[in-house]
Amino acid sequence: MPERRQNTPGPWDPAALASAPELKTPGLKKPGLKTQVRHDLAFTGDLSSFYRIWLVNTALTIVTLGLYGPWATVRTKRYLFGHTRLIGTGFTFEADPRAILKGRLILLGTLATGAFLPTVVSELDALLLFALAMLVGIPWLVSQSAKFRARNTTWRGVHFDFTGGMLGAMPWFVLLYLALPFTLGLIYPYIRKRQHAFLINNLKAGGRSFETDPSGFSYFGSTIKALVVGVVFVLAPALFVGHFINTQFGDPTTEKSAATLVLLGLASLLPLFSYLSINAVYRAYTRNILFAHTSFDGVHKLHSDIDPLKLGWITLTNLAATLLTLGFFRPVALLRKHRYLVTTMGITLMEPVEGLDRMMTRDDNALGDVGGNYFGTGVDI
Amino acid sequence: MSTAAPHRVVGVLTPPDSLDVSDAVLETTAEGLRATGIDGFTIAAPWHKLRISERLEGVERSIHFPDGRGGQTTDDDGIDLLVPRVSQSWFGALRQQAEHHWRAAFLVAGAAGLALVLIFNALIPVLAGVAADWTPPQVDSAIGRSSIGTLQTMTGPSRTDPALRRSLQSDFSTLARTAGFAPNAVRFQIVDGGRIGANALAVPGGYVLLTDQMIARARSRDEIVGVLAHELGHLHYRHGVEKLYRAAALSAALYLLIGGDGGLGGLASLGAGVVTSAYSRDMEREADAYAVRLLRRTGYDPTAFGRLLVRLERETGSDRPSLMRSHPVSQERLDMIQDLAAD
Ligand SMILES: [Zn+2]
């Protein structure tokens, strides 16, 4: 039904419009009884337009020696967000690319300084500085990128916001990792849970809060499940294939054809492939649990029904195809994964929805975007 | 604004009191824009307070009014005609053409492919060369000192016959003097290779390191002297610093190109590996050519070290594909060395 509005903007006369109330866009019900209605997200992007956007983005980024990169990032996100629709309306993402460019340049400068540091100060000093930079830098980047993403996102004029800060992120994104060795890694599901809780509980939309409190036990369970699935479906086949390729073609004394070299190169990437696919399976399990325990403004419920195996398969095949095509599969991979992630999401609204504020909080802080994809905590919308 | 422009565009607007969207009409007024919703509510703003999002394949255009509310429309052409001075720049219009037509998109991509080749083959090497020229020699020494430290933990005192060592030292001095290095600007040391095996290294700041194992593989003194001349070539061109600059420029370029796109990380490191080994091959060829010229001037056999390289490669066996190898295939190098020596 909403497609009428999206695809056929007719040259209507405002007078005709006013006299034809049935033209009114179907949306949420009018005040009266409260009813629960489930809305699933839809995705309306198509591969051919996204591929052209990607080609132009990549080309402009290359000829500008990377300076266009932030504009490309914003356009890609705007396309993906804009075609992600809730009740027929897309999300808007309108970050200022200049802010991202500034952030990337600052990060690049910091990294370059860090690389030259050991030649200036002693090894111990460099190590201490590095530790300090991690302690402060990681939680800062995590909270800043969450803030940047939220503050640049709107839906039907409702602005998102993120109120978490560096200090709030520090325990879950740095400090607790120090406990990993002492607990033989058993604390990891708990860390993951607290990270997700931090990202959700500080998220706001229209001045109202998202709330979540999944049990640590359920995260532990999903870790076990992801490991089992990972070993059976990913690691074991990967080891088998890797071993087969190495014994068949890995003999260093023989001449190798180009095809064999490609095969050997892929075999050497199997560990990375396995890791990323298992991680995707894990992400699916935890996201399902997280969303099942997440509500918005106390009354609206979130949903996520990802099939973990399917997400793992999408991740694995995306990686392999991207490498084999030297990157040209990348836009297909991006679109495919995004489509699957959003179309398995939904929200049950208690309608009519009331009390949402539409005040604007635009954010142009510099380092917003840089940490975003790196940490990939998987709770973005 | 031309008189032929339409005066209204249809879109949607969110009423102030609900999450509903209602059909709305957008019109120009004397000083700006006004949106009127079907239920009669309106928002208006002057031009300078309006923000309209850029055109992008199938994504609704947002019209932001200063109070944080906004309308949306899918009528791309309509909005561009209505508010040309706010909505579309000439660059945006060109980009829109490329994003909308396959042929234009591929044309732009092809041009970028050429640019990429130029960046890696010309821009980065040239910039790194210029930066190396500008770098004070003290930097070479500083870099050298830290690598010497690492090398000392991996090597041991030489077990080569002291008489042979002394005679190689004097060969080295002859080479360095002929090459025009200032006295004591370059030093030469023989060590037990330990973990680095049969090897010869030029360390920035003027150190040449040769291992016992390398000496043991050589069949004549000229072969060893040739290797020393090759290493002096690396020092002469200051390949050490240049390599650092190239690597830095390469990672900066890849970071800016790929940015936060984690999914391409693996591909980026593969690409960086290929480009880096191509850069090293260039430097090895340059050092070989330098060695041939120097050896001819000093009267040593200029092709001997090429034969040593071929033998080394055959004995150790090459288990890496040539694409990833930092030194050009030795037979290829020997051929080139012989060509140069024959000139
Ligand atoms: Zn060399």
What secondary structure does DSSP assign to B162-200, as a single string?
Answer: HHHHHHHHHHHHHHHHHHTPPTTSSEEEEEE-GGG-S-E
Cβ of residue B317 closer than 8 Å to a chain A Cβ: yes
Residue-level pLDDT at A25:
46
Closest residue in A to B110 (Cα) is: A59
Residue-level pLDDT at B223:
92
Indicate yes or no: CB of B59 within 8 angstroms of CB of A82: yes
pLDDT at A378 over 60: no
Higher pLDDT, residue A154 or B4 = A154
Residue-level pLDDT at A20:
39
**B90 — pLDDT class (breaks 50, 70, 90):** confident
Closest residue in B to A367 (Cα) is: B260
Residue-level pLDDT at B149:
82
Q: How far apart are the CA of B180 and the nearest CA of chain A, in angstroms?
A: 30
* Domain boundaries defined on chain B: 3-87, 132-342
pLDDT at A149 over 90: no
CA distance B129 to A211: 56
Residue-level pLDDT at B92:
83
DSSP secondary structure letter of residue B247: H
Closest residue in B to A50 (Cα) is: B57
pLDDT at A101 over 50: yes
Indicate yes or no: CB of A78 within 8 angstroms of CB of B102: no
CA distance B124 to B254: 12
CA of A157 relative to ligand 1 center, distance in Å: 63
Indicate yes or no: CB of B264 within 8 angstroms of CB of A369: no
Residue-level pLDDT at B265:
62
Contacts of B112 in chain A (CB under 8 A): 58-60, 62-63
Mutate to test the interface with B, among A61, A63, A283 (most CBs of B within 10 A): A63
* Peptide bond preceding A352 in cis form (omega within 30 of 0): yes
Give A234-252 pLDDT, tens digit per residue.
778 777 877 777 777 655 5
What ipTM was predicted for this assembly?
0.74
Give A249-271 pLDDT, tens digit per residue.
655 555 556 666 667 666 777 77
Q: What is the mean pLDDT of chain B?
A: 82
CA of B326 relative to ligand 1 center, distance in Å: 9
Give B138-180 pLDDT, tens digit per residue.
888 888 888 888 888 888 898 989 999 999 999 999 999 999 9
Do strands B187-192 and B207-211 pair parallel, antiparallel, or not at all (unpaired)? parallel
Q: What is the pLDDT averaged over residues A275-304?
A: 89
Higher pLDDT, residue B89 or B173 = B173
8 Å CB contact between A210 and A294 = yes
**B199 — pLDDT class (breaks 50, 70, 90):** confident
Residue-level pLDDT at A36:
87
Residue-level pLDDT at B264:
63
Higher pLDDT, residue A158 or A362 = A158
Which of A11-25, A75-89, A285-299 shows the lowest per-residue confidence on average (mean pLDDT)? A11-25
Indicate yes or no: CB of B14 within 8 angstroms of CB of A157: yes
Instruction: For residue A45, give the nearest of B70, B56, B258, B95 by alpha carbon.
Output: B56
CA distance A186 to B55: 49
**A30 — pLDDT class (breaks 50, 70, 90):** low
Residue-level pLDDT at B17:
65
Residue-level pLDDT at A183:
85
Give B287-313 pLDDT, tens digit per residue.
999 999 999 999 999 988 888 888 887
Q: How far apart are the CA of B121 and the nearest CA of chain A, in angstroms?
A: 14
**Which of A221-225, A250-254, B15-19: highest mean pLDDT?**
A221-225
Q: What is the pLDDT averaged over residues A2-22?
A: 38
- The contacts of residue A343 (CB under 8 Å, 6+ apart) are A40, A41, A42, A43
CA distance B55 to B67: 23
**B258 — pLDDT class (breaks 50, 70, 90):** low
CA distance B87 to B76: 10
B residues 92..111 contacting A (CB < 8 A): 95, 98-102, 105-106, 108-109, 111
CB pairs under 8 A between A and B: 210
Which of A324-328, B64-68, B315-319 shows the lowest per-residue confidence on average (mean pLDDT)? B315-319
**A375 — pLDDT class (breaks 50, 70, 90):** very low
Residue-level pLDDT at A253:
52
pLDDT at B327 over 90: no
CA distance A283 to B274: 33
- The contacts of residue A18 (CB under 8 Å, 6+ apart) are B38, B40
Cβ of residue B135 closer than 8 Å to a chain A Cβ: no
pLDDT at A380 over 50: no
Residue-level pLDDT at B16:
65
Q: How far apart are the CA of B229 and the nearest CA of chain A, in angstroms?
A: 29
Mutate to test the interface with A, among B9, B17, B19, B80 (most CBs of A within 10 A): B19
Residue A140, CA atoms < 13 Å, CB-side half-sphere: 11
CA distance A318 to B112: 24
Indicate yes or no: CB of B266 within 8 angstroms of CB of A272: yes
Alpha-carbon dihedral sign for residues A181, A183, A185, A189: negative
Cβ of residue B42 closer than 8 Å to a chain A Cβ: no
Q: How far apart are the CA of B163 and the nearest CA of chain A, in angstroms?
A: 38
Q: What is the pLDDT averaged over residues B127-138?
A: 88
Percent of chain B with pLDDT over 90: 24
CA distance A186 to A206: 38
Closest residue in A to B78 (Cα) is: A11
Between B10, B36, B69, which is nearest A9 by CB?
B10
Alpha-carbon dihedral sign for residues B158, B160, B165, B168: negative
- CATH classification of B3-87 is 3.40.50.150, yes or no? no
CA distance A329 to A312: 17
Q: How far apart are the CA of B270 and the nearest CA of chain A, in angstroms?
A: 10
Indicate yes or no: CB of B58 within 8 angstroms of CB of A9: no
Helices then strands, each counted (H, E), chain B: 13, 11
Q: What is the pLDDT averaged over residues B22-49?
A: 83
Indicate yes or no: CB of A73 within 8 angstroms of CB of B259: yes
- Nearest-5° Cα angle at A140, A165 to A160: 50
Please state, in angstroms and as integers, the Cα–Cα distance from residue B46 to each residue in A331, A359, B30, B37, following that order.
Answer: 39, 19, 9, 18
Closest residue in A to B75 (Cα) is: A9
Beta bridge partners of A160: A205
CA of A234 relative to ligand 1 center, distance in Å: 42
Residue-level pLDDT at A21:
40
pLDDT at A22 over 60: no
Indicate yes or no: CB of B19 within 8 angstroms of CB of A158: yes
CA distance B242 to B132: 5
Give the neighbor-by-neighbor strand order of the sheet with B207-211.
Answer: B156-157, B187-192, B207-211, B200-203
Residue-level pLDDT at B296:
92
Residue-level pLDDT at B252:
77
Which of A1-5, A97-101, A196-200, B257-261 shows the lowest per-residue confidence on average (mean pLDDT)? A1-5
Give A290-321 pLDDT, tens digit per residue.
999 999 988 899 999 999 989 989 988 888 88
Residue-level pLDDT at B225:
94
- Tell me the residue type at B108: V
Residue-level pLDDT at A64:
87
